[in-house]
Structure 1
Amino acid sequence: MAKFLISFVEGAMRVPEAELPDVVKAAHAVVDEAKDAGVWILGGGLKNHSEATVVTPERTLVDGPEPSANGAIAGFALIEVRTYEEALEWAAEIAAACRCDQEVRELLPSART
């Protein structure tokens, strides 16, 4: 089994305000489906990137980090599935529910589990 991060960046979800309840309902349905399938680990939306704090190696706190070239993650799902193809299938379900593209990345194996 492998773990995958499925995520989208700030600004990717361009949904009219009136349609947000439908998006939330659809997203919750996919989460419930993933839980029922036993693949769901964790997921959720994140506060705006501008509200983040960076902690440097020197233990200095920096408010409002610089945006990355790829954009800041706005929401994510962490799943555990047998194959990359299965992860892509879940990402497609999430993309349809959230109405935005999803990035799929496999987590590297950890020396400590």
Structure 2
Amino acid sequence: MLFMLIVKASKNSEGANLPDPELIEAMTKYNEELDKAGVRVAAKGLHPSSNGIRISYPKPGEKPIVMDGPFTETKELIAGFILIDVKSREEAIEWAMRMPDPQGHGEGQIELRQVFEAPELSGEQ
């Protein structure tokens, strides 16, 4: 089962502030634990939304609208993600609970979401 640990953005991450060395060390250790357990598929941080582009589809059938960042509401933005392949939802929650505060300032928030896999999308079982 694939799960994505979505690291929510904060004012700190949107300010393009690099994490403290202690947080970098803690996240490196966490990622090494994921690797050692054989569950990490991918893990990446994202540039701030000031470097982002948002494409929206306000009206069906019409041309999409392209907007350059930054985007103002940080609680709706993503700062990074880790994709894990685990045996159960409970195991995914256990791994998410082990992640250090991803912002390091008491601002961290992680959203855990299961990823649709090909058979689920096609209706096959």
| Category of TM-score, reference length = shorter chain | 0.7 to 0.9
Partners in 2 of 1:7 and 1:60 — Cα distance? Answer: 25
Q: Match for residue 83 of structure 1?
A: 88
2:109 partner SS: coil
Structure 2 residue 103 is matched with structure 1 residue 104 = no
Superposition map of 1:36-75 within 5 A:
36-55=36-55, 58=63, 61-64=66-69, 66=71, 70-75=75-80
Partners in 1 of 2:38 and 2:68 — Cα distance? Answer: 37
Unaligned runs of 5+ in 1: none
The TM-score, its normalising length taken from structure 1, stands at: 0.76
Between 42-51 and 74-83, the greater mean CA deviation after superposition: 42-51
Q: Is the 8 A contact 2:10 2:75 kept in 1?
A: no
Unaligned runs of 5+ in 2: 58-62
Fraction of identical pairs, as percent = 26
Q: Residues 67 and 13 of structure 1: is their aligned pair in 2 closer, same or farther, counting only changes over 3 Å?
A: closer
Partners in 1 of 2:54 and 2:6 — Cα distance? Answer: 20
Deviation at 1:101, TM superposition (A): 2.6
Deviation at 1:50, TM superposition (A): 2.3
1:77 partner SS: strand
- Aligned positions, number: 107
Deviation at 1:70, TM superposition (A): 4.8
The TM-score, its normalising length taken from structure 2, stands at: 0.70
Partners in 2 of 1:37 and 1:12 — Cα distance? Answer: 33
Partners in 2 of 1:101 and 1:63 — Cα distance? Answer: 25
Deviation at 1:20, TM superposition (A): 0.9
Q: Is the 8 A contact 1:41 1:80 kept in 2?
A: yes
1:108 partner SS: coil
CA RMSD of aligned residues (A): 2.8
Partners in 1 of 2:74 and 2:86 — Cα distance? Answer: 29
